[in-house]
Amino acid sequence: MTLVQAPPPVTLRAAPAAARRRPARSDMLERVTDGEHGPAASDPTLDDLLVATGVGDRAAFGALYDRTAARILGLVRRVVVDPAQAEEVAQDVFLEVWQTAPRFEAARGSAISWMFTLAHRRAVDRVRSAQSARDRDARIGARDLDVPVDSVAEAVEVRLDHERAHVALAELSDLQRECVTLAYYGGLTQSEIAERLDVPLGTVKTRMRDGMIRLRRVMGVST
């Protein structure tokens, strides 16, 4: 919890690749006492693993999969909703990650952001192609699009990033959050959101953009 209160400025970026050879004591102690929980500090970062995947390292790709699959599937499922379709999409996402990893440049963004971008695009494409606008509308109406912002730690499963994301989203105004989540989880375009909310398109554009700028500020992301 103390970590949550003192986030590093650029929180979504994995820590810089550390030398993998290092005095072993603290790492091993941590792993022995807490062996099941999360990667230790000396494990390769997701950036390392994606770069290694880009030169055909299947073991690295396997490790990357192990450490990101639940997050990727979670995102895809949130957008696509249907579990079986979500799994199909997630599989395609990982194949695309494998295929296009040579193009990943760690200097230009984090591995997880890069993977989320692929996953989200595919999920939205699936939603838009597989379902009519009417279906989608019903689907959106049938669930809560607004991310609960008072999420309580789910026992040991709590992930720092997950928790921090809720904290960050809580910083948006209700109207900004509505626009951003309708777009991101609902797969709606700006025009569709305007229609759905019955507000002018320009209003949607402004809210969405201001919401993104605000998220960037909260997360400490600058250009």
Closer to other proteins by CB, 1 or 19: give it.
Answer: 19
Our CB check for other proteins shows the closer of 34 and 138 to be: 34
Residue identified by tokens 């880009």 is 54
Closest distance of CB 112 from other proteins, Å: 6
Measured from the CB atom, is 1 or 55 closer to other proteins?
A: 55
* Cβ-contact 64, 98 below 8 angstroms: no
Task: Provide φ and ψ at 104, rounded to 5°.
Answer: -70, 135
The span from the CA of 132 to the CA of 113, in Å, is 29
Q: Considering the complex, what minimum distance in angstroms separates the CB of residue 189 from other proteins?
A: 5
The nearest distance, CB 69 to other proteins, in angstroms, is 5
In whole angstroms, what is the distance from residue 29 CA to residue 92 CA?
Answer: 38
Indicate the residue among 75 and 140 with the shorter CB distance to other proteins: 75
**Shortest distance, CB of residue 138 to other proteins, whole angstroms?**
20
Q: Report in angstroms how near the CB of residue 141 gets to other proteins at its nearest.
A: 18
| Chain centre to alpha carbon of residue 197 | 26
Cβ-proximal residues to 207 (8 Å cutoff; 6+ apart), any chain: 175, 176, 178, 179, 180
Q: Which of 67, 123, 127, 61 is nearest to 94 (CA)?
A: 61
Longest dimension (CA), the chain: 61
